[in-house]
Chains A and B, each alone.
Chain A
Amino acid sequence: MHRAFLIPILVILFSSGCIQSIALRSTGEIVDYGLEAINEESDLQLAEQSIASDLKLLDGLLKGDPENEHLLLMAARGYGSFALGFAEDSSPERARMFYLRARDYGLRVLTHRERFKKAWDKDLGAFQQALAEFGRDDVPAVFWTANGWGNYIRLNLTDPGAIADIPKVESLLKFVVEHNETYFYGGAHLAMGILLGSRPKILAGDPEGARKHFDRCLEISQGKFLMADVFYAMTYAVQTQNRELFSALLQKVNESSLDLLPEQRLANAIAKKKGEKLLERISDLFE
């Protein structure tokens, strides 16, 4: 009797796609935990393999649920991290592609707002007006979009079209700084530091501004997010030819324990590897 009732209900559920959504939601949670576990991983090889397959799983889940903001954000974040950790140094070409994917996943969340959808590829004025409609809840989407976009530009400085988007990325980062500057260990300050610190003043750089952003990021993260020290050394310290600062920052990275920030063990392991390589180039980078 009961069973006879149940079957039609199941049929209805399946055909309406409800079950599918429930299934996707729980798979999404598995991916959540999976990424969390990856972020805690200190073995770079194991992390590289698992993050790659998780990203494909995310791509697949998004095919079934293309507007799911949570999944889109995970993909934006995941592709950005994968590019930084496992592609940038060995294959900038691949890293560029992954950063662009990261940006586009982030943009898919932001362009749910009609105004931003119309304005994001228009001029800076229109872009900034559309951005002003967002609030504190939108900080993660704004931040991970900026992260993918800014890093894409950083690896694409031969393209005038990419360079022209720097002011837009700066606007996104300023938004994050204004609405929730502590989000992701002060990551918006870190990204601003990189943008302003990697060019001389005469080419629209701002070393002093960069230093303030890096210092604020270190303050917010209590010096536990080592990627900040690495990029501080790579950009500001080199640009201002401050060899002492360069060595001190990288020395600190080198001596820091991987358990400094357990939930970001992977990022810190990557930072340590990058820091080591950077330190080897010291005689090339300073007069």
Chain B
Amino acid sequence: MNLGRTALLVFLFLASSLILCAQEYLIKFATLAPEGSTWLNVMREYDSEVRKESGGRLGFKIYGGGVAGDEKDVIRKIRLGQFHSAGFTGVGLGEIAPKVRVLDCPFLFQSYDEVDYVYKTFDKEFAQAFEENRYVLLGWAEVGFVYIFSQSPIYGVDDVRKTKMWIWEGDPIAEATLKSLGVSATPLSITDVLTSLQTGMINAVYTSPLGAIALQWFTRVKYMLNLPLADAAGAVVIWKKKFDDLPPDLREILLRNGQKYMEKLTRLSREDNRKAIETLKKNSIKLIAPPSTETIREYFGIGERARRTLVGKLFSEEFLTRVEKAVLDFRSHEKHSK
């Protein structure tokens, strides 16, 4: 009796300690987003939900703040098996699924509703684009609308041409956009932008409102052209081999919650960007609306031409045309329903 009881206790003890320490499936995850940011907070919520639902069998080990290196470093580490999953923006996405960079194209979207509509409409195709390159999409987590910030006011295209604009070196979309705008831009790494704004080597940049604040560029510019230049995409992905190694129930938990939490993150970062614009105004940044629909049309025409020059490099003409058509259909539908 006593012996049986002891055996049972030992068994229970062993069983419970197995649950506690056996993280059967641990996903090593990297992002540039720093500790304490909205981005990382939501990622941690995703992790704890996955742990809870899987009874502790599945979880992330999260490396924030770029400690695992920049996006290209992380892609290399994923290939080597040192990492399994990551949050990527344009740079990383261009490496692993060039086709999805259609989302980053200039003057394609006017509202976040249009962006969401395209995510939904092309969901399967985007997912396939990742899988073809041995990744699985866990959820979209965009950076958000990117605007032009400058030291002198920008209204029309001519004003953009007069700027000494920065360009992120090696980004084909930015190259195509600025070329079509007729700007000869100065390529610099992100880390040199602030000093170059100070010395006058450049006097205009493009980034999201939150980016302008986090990178402190807002302290060196005075104006923001209030017309989204592009929507900078972002996504959380996992190496397909790691994903395929998971039992089906865990895959389901990972995917379902990935979508749920990345949607939450997208909502929150759009809110952060809205708040960021208010903060910019408080810090004496003036928002400039394009002066006429004519001007807006001109920007849009430039966007269209720029997108065409990317055909064959990132995506096919056929795909681009379908995406553009979907946006236009949605836009006119919205117009009519209003």
Residues of A within 8 A of B (CB): 121-124, 154-155, 157-161, 163-164, 166-167, 198-204, 238-241, 284, 287
Contact = CB atoms under 8 A, between A and B. Distances in A.
B283 A124 contact: yes
A157 B216 contact: no
Contact of B272 (A154, A158, A203): A158
A166 B216 contact: yes
Contact of A158 (B32, B36, B279): B36
B316 interface: no
Given A154-B36, A203-B65, A287-B28, 13 more contacts: A122-B283, A123-B284, A157-B37, A158-B37, A158-B38, A160-B272, A160-B275, A164-B283, A200-B65, A200-B66, A201-B191, A202-B70, A203-B66
Nearest to B66: A200
B35 interface: yes
Contact of A164 (B38, B63, B279): B279
A219 to B, nearest CB: 27
B320 to A, nearest CB: 30
A48 B78 CA distance: 47
Interface of B: 28, 32, 34-38, 41, 61, 63, 65-68, 70, 82, 190-191, 194, 209-210, 213-216, 218-219, 272, 275-276, 278-280, 282-284
Contacts of B36: 154-155, 157-158
Contacts of B41: 158
Given A159-B275, A160-B210, A160-B272, A204 B68 contact: no
B170 to A, nearest CB: 14
Contacts of A204: 194, 214-216
Contacts, number: 81
Nearest to B70: A202
Contacts of B37: 157-158
5 smallest A-B Cβ distances: which pairs?
A: A200-B66, A157-B36, A160-B276, A123-B284, A158-B38
B156 to A, nearest CB: 27
B191 A202 contact: yes
B208 to A, nearest CB: 11
B219 A124 contact: yes
A159 B278 CA distance: 12
Given A200-B34, A202-B66, A123 B283 contact: yes
A201 B70 CA distance: 10
Given A155-B36, A284-B61, A287-B82, A239 B67 contact: yes
A232 to B, nearest CB: 16
A136 B35 CA distance: 35
Nearest to A124: B219
A241 B77 CA distance: 15
A193 to B, nearest CB: 15
Contacts of B209: 160
Nearest to B213: A164
B32 A202 contact: yes
A241 B67 contact: yes
Contacts of B35: 157, 198
A122 B281 CA distance: 10
